[in-house]
Structure 1
Amino acid sequence: MSNSPQDWPEPIVRVQSLSEGGLNIIPDRYIKPPTERPSPKRSVSSASSVDCADANIPIIDLQGLNGNQNTRAATLSQISEACHEWGFFQIVNHGVNSHLLDRAREVWHQFFHLPMEVKQQYANSPKTYEGYGSRLGIQKGAILDWSDYYYLHYLPLRLKDYNKWPAQPPPCREVVDEYGRELVKLCGRLLKVLSINLGLQEDFLQNSFGGQDIGADLRVNFYPKCPQPELTLGLSSHSDPGGMTLLLPDDQVTGLQVRKGSSWITVKPAPHAFIVNIGDQIQVLSNAIYKSVEHRVIVNSNKERVSLAFFYNPKSDIPIEPAKELVTANRPALYRAMTYDEYRLDIRLRGPRGKCTVESLKSPG
């Protein structure tokens, strides 16, 4: 990451401070162009669209994977269909203790309500993004998102530094460590399912990611109340650059929107469910059989939100390219090889830009 800048191009303003300062009008630098502003009831284009009020991403009971042959086959089929049709799905009965999920959300809620001088001790930079942050990308004068966040490395172990994790509230480091252990196991289990559904050996995707030497990161998003939510976004439209994401949403306040054709679908979280989504690296490895999908976050004038996004990624220096087993004369390799380190540098420099980055990998012709 030697090309990464050392500092932000402009002074950092914490969105939470703006929100709690009693603003009635948001600053211009958070106002999105009219075409990017949230409009849950209106389709992205004039084409026919899904009714956003009634649609929801699939909810899949993972307990079916432990059932009899028919039940397991039905569950595999549900996951395959969700990957093909949505790129997103929710999982329940996933094996992670609900009490741990509640604790994880609560410690991070407490962190974001600590005094600013405490949080500022962990202020991040664009060099690694690790720590307490309020923007992505380094373009001077960019239109920003209405959110703050905390980003930390969980794997590989050489990047795992407890000193960069919040010491307050006191259980935070312990909870994050346990949470990470459980999600690494769950992600490995899901990669096996995706490999089987692609017709590959069950360990194919895990091995393509680097075996046990993979990357895993946690980004905790904090979306403060916003006096003009119709003018901005908590997180701009993007597809996730990594392999696979497990999102623990706020199950009391909606905010995540998934692009489905010409519509934005507001996801209704199931209690203690994870939202799973395909990342750009799996799109490349599957030769676009599975596609990452654009998503964004809307904000609320009356309620704040906390969500935890756990990213399960390939080892940073392994070239990622379409699986040879999925390349045929009728379906040639659609993407050129690129390491994840090279890939995410584009995101860190430019910020979220829809699916521009993965599209730039397409092979000519």
Structure 2
Amino acid sequence: MEKFPLINLENVNGEERNAILEKINDACENWGFFELVNHGIPLELLDTVESLTKEHHRACMEQRFKEEIRMKGLEGVQDEVKDMDWESTFFMRHLPESNISQIPDLTEEYRKVMKEFAQKLEKLAEKLLELLCEILGLEKGYLKKAFYGSRGPTFGTKVANYPPCPKPELVKGLRAHTDAGGIILLLQDDKVSGLQLLKDGQWVDVPPLRNSIVVNLGDQLEVITNGRYKSVEHRVIAQTDGTRMSIASFYNPGSDAVIYPAPALLEREEEDKSKVYPKFVFEDYMRLYAGLKFQAKEPRFEAMKAVNSY
């Protein structure tokens, strides 16, 4: 198996720009995932986010998770569990407006740090979208505009912890799926692994690397690029030792944004209408995705074609 794509952004504005863009393009075309170092987010901030997230999990989430598992009768589970995930999570929304101040159990320090972290991630997501525009030959700002809708993009963070699991062969930390949205930025545990992606029919580990940001592409970028870049199935394997931390931030289109293949990309391709992805309103796609998240994505695209929601 080729090496997982690791991309150093340090000299992206210097003479290495073309080589870096080539690496990003290759990762997007062949993996749907890559890992960034020297991404511009201060490492002290990442360390603080990690330590406060782990502290919050121990103080507020750990016991609750154990009680939920007990209530669901999973402690002595004998057969494979196919309808749940071995994870403890909460969500925070940043855009179009933040709800961090309303989430219970967060310390003021944690709220403040997560707000700062979200602002830095938002800038990084937009920088990556700009680089993708340049790589794809789209006009400057095209992808940000495509995501905009009437109120700007939606942007939120799923904070997850994957506690030790006594029978990891019977339950997944998180079942296999593709992400519905745009571009996803992940700060993951550098000691406890578990994230895997499907490549060429094989599950490949996403290497835990301290202070890196893992990037993956969602279904909407597959549609906009008309399949040149594809969202990739991934999952989290439950582990018997250690709790894995995962902070995934989703930079997605606004709910009323209309998503469709970029005309400039279609012009360059052979005209084959059957291979053109559908046009739809993002919230219509999300409504469909909610019930079909853990199933193949292709029928979702077909369903949007049939509905022709826009």
State the distance in 2 between where 1:248 and 1:346 align: 28
The residue number in structure 1 matching 2:271 is 330
The answer on whether the counterparts of 2:178 and 2:293 sit within 8 Å (CA) in structure 1 is no
Question: CA, structure 1 residues 352+209, in 2 after alignment: closer, same or farther (shift >3 Å)?
Answer: same
The answer on whether the counterparts of 1:112 and 1:222 sit within 8 Å (CA) in structure 2 is yes
Question: CA, structure 1 residues 233+335, in 2 after alignment: closer, same or farther (shift >3 Å)?
Answer: same
State the distance in 1 between where 2:26 and 2:44 align: 30
The residue number in structure 2 matching 1:273 is 212
Question: CA, structure 1 residues 236+89, in 2 after alignment: closer, same or farther (shift >3 Å)?
Answer: same
Amino acid at match of 2:168: P
Question: CA, structure 1 residues 186+269, in 2 after alignment: closer, same or farther (shift >3 Å)?
Answer: same
Q: Give the helix-richer structure, 1 or 2.
A: 2
1:355 aligns with 2:300: no
SS in 1 for 2:196: strand
Question: Which of 252, 259, 281 matches 1:313?
Answer: 252
The residue number in structure 1 matching 2:91 is 151
State the distance in 1 between where 2:297 and 2:202 align: 16
The residue number in structure 2 matching 1:6 is none
The answer on whether the counterparts of 2:86 and 2:162 sit within 8 Å (CA) in structure 1 is yes
SS in 2 for 1:103: helix
Superimposed CA distance per residue, residues 307-354 of structure 1 (whole angstroms, 9 cap, x where no aligned partner): 100000111101101111111443546222122211112232344324
1:265 CA displacement: 0.1
Amino acid at match of 2:45: L
Question: Which of 224, 230, 235 matches 1:285?
Answer: 224
Aligned residues: 288
Superimposed CA distance per residue, residues 224-281 of structure 1 (whole angstroms, 9 cap, x where no aligned partner): 1000112211111111100000011101111100110110001112221110011100
The residue number in structure 2 matching 1:57 is 4
1:85 CA displacement: 0.6
SS in 2 for 1:293: coil
The residue number in structure 2 matching 1:178 is 116
The residue number in structure 1 matching 2:78 is none
State the distance in 2 between where 1:319 and 1:343 align: 10
Superimposed CA distance per residue, residues 17-50 of structure 1 (whole angstroms, 9 cap, x where no aligned partner): xxxxxxxxxxxxxxxxxxxxxxxxxxxxxxxxx4
The residue number in structure 2 matching 1:104 is 49
State the distance in 2 between where 1:197 and 1:209 align: 18
The answer on whether the counterparts of 2:189 and 2:210 sit within 8 Å (CA) in structure 1 is no
The residue number in structure 2 matching 1:72 is 17
Amino acid at match of 1:247: L
State the distance in 1 between where 2:44 and 2:64 align: 26
Amino acid at match of 1:330: E
Root mean square deviation, CA, Å? 2.3
Superimposed CA distance per residue, residues 43-86 of structure 1 (whole angstroms, 9 cap, x where no aligned partner): xxxxxxx4xxxx54200001131212xx1110110100110010
State the distance in 1 between where 2:61 and 2:192 align: 24
State the distance in 1 between where 2:64 and 2:156 align: 19
State the distance in 2 between where 1:146 and 1:63 align: 36
- Aligned identity (percent) is 36
The answer on whether the counterparts of 1:258 and 1:264 sit within 8 Å (CA) in structure 2 is yes
1:361 CA displacement: 4.8
The answer on whether the counterparts of 1:166 and 1:172 sit within 8 Å (CA) in structure 2 is no
TM-score by length of 2: 0.86
Question: CA, structure 1 residues 99+341, in 2 after alignment: closer, same or farther (shift >3 Å)?
Answer: same
